[in-house]
Structure 1
């Protein structure tokens, strides 16, 4: 055992709850390892920036799974369907979280087409009533022309 280096066996310090940096001083360890203290702190800083926090790791995992599910659906699934698929795979996730991640990645589902009413197809052979006023609805006097609207929709009352 080197003088002033601390215990040889980690089992000797297992009963203490202090982290390694509190059990041994950084300057003492740097001197024994023949490295500079500034080099040690640069290493710690680099390591902290390259390591993901648990939250960042979870988000990265979700991003991969969301992209996979979106590709499997041929780009049609939005956040509700992706959330349902993630939950079916055993993930505990909120739809708002999935929507936020999808928006950040620029991934969006395809909205279904809106329903378009298909009216009667005009038969070119059919006979139509004659247009007696030739589409001129203002005849210059009251009660000369009466008309109505038979299209479905909201009432204007």
Structure 2
């Protein structure tokens, strides 16, 4: 056998052929928003290791970390405002028996004097409920069942005809 041969130390595993190297940062930074997790990691460990070293290790620019730290109060205020908006959205959605979608909820909120954009209402609804119902989708979310033996409505189907002249 040519090539290098060395025994494996305790705890080491042989890398199988075709296996990829682990992603930079390991499993810690694969979950959720990578930049936020990385910046939070630097924030949590900066006293012991220093910002410059940690930013190099986790692969972010120091300016990104300092920007993330400087804008923390703004993010907190936006999250609080979004939580308040989510409560208002739930109330309007509840009074409509769950039939109002983003456009109608936006209109209701504007009638109540709330300055809000339909895109923000959709984003907050998505995070608060996991769905973004729209007025055009109806109660079934736009999913219309196919009638048995008919296929989808509007689809052109051709059947072979066995009758001759």
TM range, normalised to the smaller chain?
0.3 to 0.5
| Normalised TM-score (structure 2) | 0.37
Q: Which has the larger radius of gyration?
A: 1
